[in-house]
Structures are given as C-alpha cells and as structure tokens.
C-alpha cells in the first residue's frame, strides 16, 4: 500500500508541475475534440482545443486542470482554495430576485439615492437589478417604492393614502388607500401645500409674502419686481411673470394692483421692421433677415420680437413680400406655413389652418407634401414660388409684427 500511495503522490506532483511548465505548443500533436455540448476552449496550457464543461460537470482544480465552464455558467467552488474542484452552475443562480448577472453589473449600481449614477468606463462582472429596480441593502426593489425625503412633520410610509386629507378637503373618499407616500406624523393633521398643519389652522388659511398677509384667493403685483404677479392658493403664494415685448410695450399697474402690458406708440413698427408705404389703416410690419437659420430657430427669432414668421393671404402681400425678398435677401426664404404637428394639414404661423381650395396660393408645380418636408419657403430658383422643405435646413426668413396688438407671455413659477 505504501508503494501505491507514493506512486499516486508522484503523479499528482508531475501533473501540477506540467500545469506550471507547459511544453511548446505543436498543433500536430493536438487531437480534434469530440462534439462539444458547450463552448470550445483551450486546455490548461493554452494549446489544444478542448470542450468547456457544461452544467453539472466538474471544474476548477489547480491551474483549472479539471476544466473551465461554458459561457453562462460559473464554477461553484471555494474561491480561497487554489486546488478546490467545483461544479458548473448557471450564473443566474448567483443573483437574487429582480436581478440578473451582467458583465458590468458588479459596480456603479443604481440606488434610491442615485438612480442614474455616472459610471467609469470599466466593467466588473456581478449582479445588476432588472429594469425599473434599484439596489437597496443587497436587494433589488422597485424604484417607485424608494423612500423619499418628506417635509418636517411627516414621514415616508409604504402604505400611505393616494388621496391625503388637506385643508381644502379634510375628508376625501379614496379607492386606493395603500400607496408609498409621505404621511403626517400626527393623525389629526392635514396637508396645506407641502406642510402638515393642525386642522384648526385651516380656518385661518392665508399667505404671507414680503411681510404682508393675504387671504386665500387674493392676487397682487410685486412692488420690487416689475411684471411679477402673485396669488394666494392653499396657504402658499404662487407667482407668475408677465413679459412685455420691448420697445413696443411696457409694464403698467392695473386698477386691481397687478401688472399688465401697455402698447407704446400704437401703429409704429419696432426697430428693424418696415411697413408697406401704401398702408393707410391696419397693417403688419416686416423684418427681412438674411441670417440662415432652421425653421424652428427662425420662428423663435420672430417670437422674441413679439412677432411670427410671415403669413401671406393675398396677391398684393405676396407681390410686396416677393419684391423685397429679391432686393434684400436674394435667397430661398422661410415663410410661416408648416405641418410639423398636424399630420400633413398645413397651418399658418398665427394658428389658422391653410385651405388649399379657398386660400390664396403661390405654390410651385408638383409640390408633394411628404413626411420629411414639412416647412414652407419661397424658392428662388422657382421665381420665389412656394415649396415644402426639410425644416432643419438653414435659410433666411421673414418676420411679421402686428403693431396694433398687445401680447403678453405668462410664465408660471411656484414659490
């Protein structure tokens, strides 16, 4: 028996040494592997092709002499024992519920606090959460139930109300009574804006703004910021800005103390605009701009002046516009007619739909309203007749301005 033990030990030592010191690789000495159930890999010396191990087969050992696992599997063995032999198992079994194994899942995982992390361009294999889930305490949980930071006087609950009580509606009928949300710490408190207050305080509900108190529903104009109007709603002041187009209009205080716009010098064109000399009553002012912009940017440029891209609804306007386009621009030029959002139904820049039967037209022959050609322009090679083109193309443009209308933009902003 002693001789047999010595022989076995000798074979193990020789095998280990061979794994460390491989002979030069000679292709003609390699035998063709039998049909493999999994991948084909190199042997321990990196020389001959052998079959990778499949699920349930042995793997590992010193220098992986017992084989490596096929793709999608891992060798389940003691990773701290160099000589340990294991069994090939699916990588999916490494990960828990709502997760999967990924080549880059082992680092930079999304969490409740950081659902969209900025990751380095380095991959590390590991478990990653499925779509819609984030990492939380070694588990993947739905992102929608992540605890949120709640205002003072309230806390996060996995079973809050979808219809929380408020000063406006202290008692509300609700079909969904168990949703993740912030709830008041005290049972007889209700929500006023984003704060929990005792129900009795709702009777005195109002707003405080710049040291002054206002009742629910009151509105006022800020004394320090021109154009800023505010109103009291659910115990909170909410404000908006009225933007007047200068130099054609200015801010004024109305009788109720709020800000509005007043037209300056009615009937006068803003700087950079011209008007038809023959106009005696109502008319538009026009700006012919040689700067080449996309249709969207040209539209924005006109709106910044309180105007819009030019509309052409009669022969006299068309002739006047065309002559000045030849004199001032001399290129194909955008006009205010498109169907970008109306499913091939053309609309003028003032929001009026174009009617091919009733409206004035100056189209070129064989104009096709195709999917990618949504914006109208006057085509110079076609004697400034109208065509439809790609909206991202850059062309000069014409703006029109109504000097008899007061326009205000109201931009909402909560405080």
Burial 288-306 (b: 16+ CB within 10 A, else e): bbeeebbbeebbebbbebb
Peptide linkage before 332 cis (omega within 30 of 0)? no
**CA-wise closest residue to 84 among 60, 105, 101:** 60
- Is residue 373 within 8 A of residue 390, CB to CB? The reply is yes
Structure tokens at 115: 């659902």
Dihedral angle computed from the Cα positions of residues 227, 233, 235 and 241, in that order, rounded to the nearest 10 degrees: -20
Cα angle value 70/74/75 (rounded, 5°): 105
Q: Helices marked H in 255-312 — which ranges? A: 295-304
In the three-class reduction of DSSP (H, G, I as helix; E, B as strand; rest coil), residue 390 is classed as coil
Query: pLDDT tens, 310-329?
Result: 999 999 999 999 999 999 99
Length of the chain: 415
Q: 39: Cβ–Cβ under 8 A, 6 or more apart, which residues?
A: 51, 52, 70, 71
Distance (Å, whole) CA 397 – CA 103: 52
- Please indicate whether residue 352 or residue 26 has the higher confidence score (pLDDT): 352
The arithmetic mean of pLDDT across residues 340-354, rounded, is 87
- pTM of this structure: 0.40
Mean pLDDT score of the chain: 81
**At 334, is the pLDDT very low, low, confident or very high (cuts 50, 70, 90)?**
very high
User: Count of CB atoms within 10 A of residue 389's CB?
Assistant: 17
**At 235, is the pLDDT very low, low, confident or very high (cuts 50, 70, 90)?**
confident
**At 399, is the pLDDT very low, low, confident or very high (cuts 50, 70, 90)?**
very high
State residue 414's pLDDT score: 37
Question: Burial, 314: exposed, middle or buried (Cβ in 10 Å; 0-12, 13-18, 19+)?
Answer: exposed
Q: 134: Cβ–Cβ under 8 A, 6 or more apart, which residues?
A: 109, 110, 111, 112, 115, 140, 141, 143, 146
Distance (Å, whole) CA 4 – CA 252: 109
* pLDDT of residue 397 exceeding 60: yes
Distance (Å, whole) CA 342 – CA 348: 11
Q: 285: Cβ–Cβ under 8 A, 6 or more apart, which residues?
A: 269, 270, 273, 274, 275, 307, 400, 401, 402, 403
The arithmetic mean of pLDDT across residues 24-34, rounded, is 76
Burial 193-212 (b: 16+ CB within 10 A, else e): bebbbeeeebeebebebeee
Query: pLDDT tens, 99-156?
Result: 877 767 667 788 887 877 877 766 766 788 888 888 887 788 888 778 778 888 898 8
The arithmetic mean of pLDDT across residues 273-280, rounded, is 75
User: Count of CB atoms within 10 A of residue 83's CB?
Assistant: 14
The arithmetic mean of pLDDT across residues 252-259, rounded, is 84
Segment among 58-67, 88-97, 134-143 with least mean pLDDT: 88-97
- Is residue 192 within 8 A of residue 167, CB to CB? The reply is yes
The H or E element spanning position 398 is strand 395-401
Query: pLDDT tens, 205-222?
Result: 678 888 888 887 788 988
Query: pLDDT tens, 157-205?
Result: 878 888 888 877 777 777 766 788 888 998 888 888 788 888 877 766 6
In the three-class reduction of DSSP (H, G, I as helix; E, B as strand; rest coil), residue 211 is classed as coil
- Please indicate whether residue 369 or residue 284 has the higher confidence score (pLDDT): 284
């Amino acid at each position: 028996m002693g001789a047999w033990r010595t022989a076995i030990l000798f074979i193990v030592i020789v095998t280990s040494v061979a794994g460390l010191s491989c002979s030069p690789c000679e292709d003609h000495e390699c035998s063709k592997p039998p049909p493999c159930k999994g991948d084909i890999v190199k042997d321990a010396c990196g020389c001959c092709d052998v079959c990778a191990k499949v699920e349930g087969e042995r793997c590992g050992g010193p220098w992986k002499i017992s084989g490596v696992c096929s793709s999608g599997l891992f060798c389940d063995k003691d990773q701290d024992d160099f000589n340990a032999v294991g069994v090939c198992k699916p990588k999916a079994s490494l990960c828990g519920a709502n997760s999967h194994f990924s080549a880059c899942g082992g680092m930079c995982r999304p969490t409740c606090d950081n659902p969209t992390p900025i990751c380095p361009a380095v991959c590390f294999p590991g478990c990653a959460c499925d779509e819609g889930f984030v990492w939380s305490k070694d588990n993947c949980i739905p992102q929608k139930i992540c605890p949120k930071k709640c205002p003072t006087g309230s806390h996060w609950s996995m079973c809050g109300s979808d219809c929380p009580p408020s000063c406006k509606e202290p008692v509300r009928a609700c079909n969904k009574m168990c949703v993740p949300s912030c709830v008041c710490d005290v049972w007889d408190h209700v929500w006023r804006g984003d704060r929990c207050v005792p129900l009795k305080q709702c009777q005195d509900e109002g707003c405080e703004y710049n040291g002054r108190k206002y009742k629910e529903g009151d509105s006022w104009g800020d004394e320090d910021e021109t154009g800023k109007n505010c109103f009291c709603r659910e115990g909170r002041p909410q404000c908006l800005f009225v933007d007047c187009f200068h130099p054609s209009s200015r801010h004024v205080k109305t009788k109720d103390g709020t800000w509005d716009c007043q037209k300056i010098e009615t009937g006068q064109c803003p700087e950079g605009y011209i008007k038809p000399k023959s106009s005696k009553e109502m008319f538009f002012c026009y700006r012919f701009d040689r700067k080449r912009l996309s249709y969207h940017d040209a539209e924005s440029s006109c709106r910044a002046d309180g105007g819009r891209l030019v509309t052409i609804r009669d022969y006299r306007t068309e002739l006047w516009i065309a002559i000045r386009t030849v004199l001032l621009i001399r290129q194909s030029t955008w006009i205010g007619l498109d169907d970008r959002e109306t499913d091939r139904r053309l609309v003028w820049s003032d929001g009026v739909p174009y009617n091919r039967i009733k409206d004035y037209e100056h189209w070129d022959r064989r104009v096709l309203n195709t999917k990618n050609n949504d914006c109208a322009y006057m085509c110079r090679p076609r004697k400034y007749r109208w065509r439809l083109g790609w909206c991202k193309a850059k062309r000069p443009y014409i703006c029109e301005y109504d000097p008899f209308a007061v326009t205000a933009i109201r931009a909402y902003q909560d405080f």
